[in-house]
Structure 1
């Protein structure tokens, strides 16, 4: 099984592309969904956020107030780093666990939806291919304002803290342009899926894993026999 990274900019349409992968039976691990789970009331990250940022970033329901926290961290790089240091270990731990479960299920490849793939650089060394979803700047701004209700100034600020789409596209293996119709986006995505399905790379990984397991089992068998032979024979 190999890993495919899916990224882009905020409000470029990664979720729409991810949904098409799921339609074709390809597992998608969504970092944003996991991020929401790790900060649920009572979770370790929830307690750490409360200690670090205080009660003002929580709703009366004890859930995280994402709007307030977002305003806080997007205006302060150091606070953003502190939040990432709290949440990222739990997020990546869950992602690794889900990846392992999909591996055991025998999938050829899985998609990892990572909005900040290039910004953090954490998963880059584990990905076989990278897909970047882009769209026109004005459309990205419009979508973000409509989706979140942010003012134009705040929406521009959210976009500005991420790496420019052009730079992300330069580092991608596949670029899906999501500025026109849903059908056009679907056609591009299906082409990428067909290319990935035709890859034989997963067999190399399966062979490597199988070889390592064989060596490990042989080592255990040798050690077991060596221990038995070393036992003293009773008189």
Structure 2
């Protein structure tokens, strides 16, 4: 059975690391869209006293916690990128909890439409059936690398390893219904976001209109 749509009209916003997903999502949020960020939910679950921490420590051991009691993201990232079984074990803990928290947040949505920010939307294999449209935030790969190196202090090799674990730029664009190109600053982003916002408002009204209206 395929997972049911989360809301009557919703957008799944995705993009590779460093493409500017948060920046674009925040622009939609400022225009009135409800934002549900699965990455933020995952961070909350793995923060000190987060709901997923007991299960993570039971599965991986105390070495994977920081002194504050959060998941040691650096250590965990190194493990799951080198061990696919470890990745599957972590996902088995996190994904059901993220799914439940996402559904709870969607149920409280007040905006005219909901945007789910899902970094691995295409990779997940299930999110495409849960949203009405997929919006990909796109930029050249070299710009991705430069942004993440500047933002996170990673080496180029580290950034490209993360990118290699994601779908390719071409695959993401092929799966998208809509695309925002983020390669030229905020002034170039705003008109693209505003056009899509107007379109999403119209589509949302149609989705919520009485049958035959």
> Deviation at 1:40?
2.7
The offset of 1:45, in angstroms, is 1.6
2:124 to 120, 127, 132: 120
Q: CA RMSD in A?
A: 1.6
Deviation at 1:201, TM superposition (A): 3.1
SS for the counterpart of 1:198 is helix
| 2:155 counterpart residue number | 151
How far apart are residue 24 of structure 1 and its match?
0.5
Query: Match of 2:186?
Result: 182
Give the whole-Å Cα distance in 2 for the aligned partners of 1:52 and 1:147: 31
Question: Are 1:131 and 2:135 counterparts?
Answer: yes
Report the Cα distance in structure 1 between the residues aligned to 2:201 and 2:51, rounded to whole angstroms: 39
Q: How does 1:1-235 map to 2 (within 5 A)?
A: 1-102=8-109, 105=110, 107-199=111-203, 200-204=205-209
Equivalent pairs, count: 204
Gaps (5+ residues) in structure 1?
208-235
Distance in 2 of aligned mates of 1:192 and 1:164: 24
Query: Structure 2: any 5+ residue segments left out of the alignment?
Result: 1-7
Deviation at 1:44, TM superposition (A): 4.1
Contact 1:7-1:14 within 8 A present in 2 as well: yes
Bigger radius of gyration among the two: 1
Contact 2:34-2:112 at 8 Å conserved across structures: no
Dislocated runs of 4+, deviation >6 Å:
none
* Residues 2, 201 of structure 1: 8 Å contact kept: no
Normalized per residue, which structure has more helix? 1
TM-score by length of 2: 0.90
Q: TM-score, normalised by structure 1?
A: 0.82
